[in-house]
Structure 1
Amino acid sequence: MLGATTAAWSYGDAHGAPLLLVHGFRGDHHGLEGLAEAIVAAQPDIRAIVPDLPGFGASAAIPGRTHDLDLYGEWLREFAPAALPPRFALLGHSFGSLVVANAIAGGLTPSRLVLINPISAPALEGPQAILTQLAIGYYRAADLLPERAARALLGNAAIVRGMSEVMAKTGDPELRKWIHGQHASYFSTFSDPRTLLEAFRASVSHTVIEYAEAIAMPTLLIAGDRDDITPLPKQLELDHRLPESRLRVIPGTGHLVHYEAVADATAFILEFLSTPDPAVAGGAEPVESHHQGAAE
């Protein structure tokens, strides 16, 4: 795609109804693998496809291009029709929500859209602004270092663990241990420090709300009520801005719904995908919350 190889993983029936999942910043397909596997296990006639974003995991960075949000949106608009039939559902988590929103604004037309922990609040404003500026400094410092030193800083086990501790909200010690292991294994599989810095800037410079007017298809929003990156009031705002959306809120969960509440997210997604289009209400639909089930 765009002159570079995109690696993608497929789960479930090769001829099933396609669901394309786009992962978040600094991760790769492993972040959504558990959710993809849970979806196809519960609904065997679905095919889940999870690519690694350009510059992450096994996907190469796009040569000669700045990895901003427009680039990622362009990549998705090229990848989706090449890998999927014309009618497909699309899911984005965190930074992935920005990628899919940008792609839709540029003309991508999924039949249905699922956004998990969508980025609905400006990272450079509000209570998270100071932390965001510190993170920008961290990535910028790494970009100025030689390659080996930069990778050592970006992959520093203590820093990665600190990020993981902040994001994880579960009180289950075994699940927390597993989440930390996932981040330790896959949080540093980026192609190079410059691409990582560019992608980070893209992740904190936009919100899905910017693209709300373009998102006209039935949309499911899934949010944790303890998400530190996008507070619940901003998710409510996004829900009200979309003409055909439903917001599901999972209590006790933060930005890692795809790790901490897989069972709930799977149930919500399958219910949504099986609901006839006219039954998906818009702004008049009440916000629904669901008690957290056992994570898988």
Structure 2
Amino acid sequence: MTALNPYARLLDEIPVDRREATVLGGVTAYWVYGPADADTTIIAVHGFRGEHHGLEPVVAHLPGARIISPDLPGFGETPPVPGRAHDLNLYAQWLAEFSRAAAPGAVILGHSFGSIVVAAAVAGGMEAPRVILVNPIGAPALEGPRGLLTRLAVFYYWAGARLPRRLGEALLRNGLIVRVMSESMAKTKDPGIRRFVHDQHDTYFSRFADRDVLHDAFVASVSHDVREYAPRIAQPTLLVAAQRDDITPIEAERRLARMFPAAELVEIPDVGHLIHYETPAAAAGAITRFLAPSDDGTR
């Protein structure tokens, strides 16, 4: 039974249009939310094993903005890029080309693994006036407070890639394991939101193309973090971090903020790595304030 979406009413008031773009010789599916004449356009990049639906709760709380939300190659409705390993270089190159095709010069937002992709692309020269990173990966995942669970995840994805294909695919899409992952990340005590989080993971967490793409993306997600790129990102940057994040501790996020030439850190209490599901209004509020015009009319 599908769980009630607590953000559905807000989201239903925002127009949305599905589109496609040709990027790196493949087709990228993306969704455009909000008014066409909005003052601000944001390209929003989802996290590992997710797809565009995951960021909809934040979109629901940004009704005046135009949000362009693609599915990463190999996830959701975007097929893998033909003939390429899906490593971080591929994803950063894809994002830069997608940005040029869909909304050149847009503000760029990344959540979790998307924060690494965004940071790599912007540091590599992708045009963006401002950068927003939600639950940024600000330290090596294997060194987080749940490093043991991350090491178990490494084994899980390794096994999924090495077993016979049918068994490997079944392991990687196993509903019980997906639920354990979901339970480990959720911090909210609200039963309705908790059911919604689990339903989202049950519905969308296994919409990857195949185990090879998933393994490539996982390796990229645990082999890099935003620290590599922060000093080369000159644009004003907003970090929206969770005080109970098990992947990047808040102390590491505070250190990360100091590595940028111009960064603002907003900390959200009582939430972990699922800001986009559990506290989207707080995240959207921080984003709105960050993008508000200054007294001289600039953004």
Q: Same fold (TM over 0.5)?
A: yes
Q: Which residue of 1 aligns with 2:232?
A: 214
| Unaligned segments of structure 1, at least 5 residues | 281-296
User: How do 1:6-25 residues align onto structure 2 when only pairs under 5 Å count?
Assistant: 6-16=28-38, 17-25=40-48
Question: Aligned ranges for residues 1-296 of structure 1 at < 5 Å?
Answer: 1-16=23-38, 17-39=40-62, 41=63, 43=64, 46-85=65-104, 87-125=105-143, 127-276=145-294
Q: Equivalent residue for 1:291?
A: none
Q: Distance in 1 between matches of 2:99 and 2:126?
A: 8
Contact kept, 8 Å, 2:145 with 2:249, in 1: the verdict is no
| 1:93-151 Cα distance to aligned partner (Å, 9 max, x none) | 00000000010121102101110000001123354433222211111111123333222
Give the partner amino acid of 1:119: I
In structure 2, how many angstroms separate the alpha carbons of the residues matched to 1:144 and 1:63? Answer: 22
Q: How far 1:157 moved relative to its partner?
A: 1.1
Supply the AA of the counterpart residue of 2:73.
P
Q: Is the 8 A contact 1:117 1:221 kept in 2?
A: yes
Secondary structure in 2 aligned to 1:6? strand
TM value normalised by structure 1:
0.89
Give the equivalent residue in structure 2 for 1:293.
none
Q: Which amino acid aligns with 1:101?
A: A
* Distance in 2 (alpha carbons) for counterparts of 1:278 and 1:238: 29
Report the residue type matching 2:35 in the other structure. D
State the superposition RMSD in angstroms: 1.7
- CA distance in 2 between counterparts of 1:106 and 1:256 reads 28
CA distance in 1, matches of 2:293, 2:237: 11
* Unpaired segments ≥5 residues, structure 2: 1-22
Read off the aligned partner of 2:26 and give its amino acid letter: A
Q: 1:278 to 1:73 in 2, by over 3 A?
A: farther
* Residue aligned with 1:50, SS: strand
Q: 2:295, 2:139 → 1: CA distance?
A: 28
Change (3 A) 1:139 1:220: same
Identity of aligned residues (%): 53
Deviates more, 1:127-136 or 1:228-237: 127-136
Structure-1 separation of matches of 2:212 and 2:164: 11
Corresponding letter in the other structure for 2:128: P
Q: In 2, distance between residues paired with 1:186 and 1:233?
A: 31
Distance in 2 (alpha carbons) for counterparts of 1:279 and 1:78: 30
Q: Tell me what 1:287 maps to.
A: none
Measure, in 2, the Cα distance between the counterparts of 1:47 and 1:276: 20
- How far did residue 4 of structure 1 move? 1.3
State the distance in 2 between where 1:89 and 1:278 align. 19
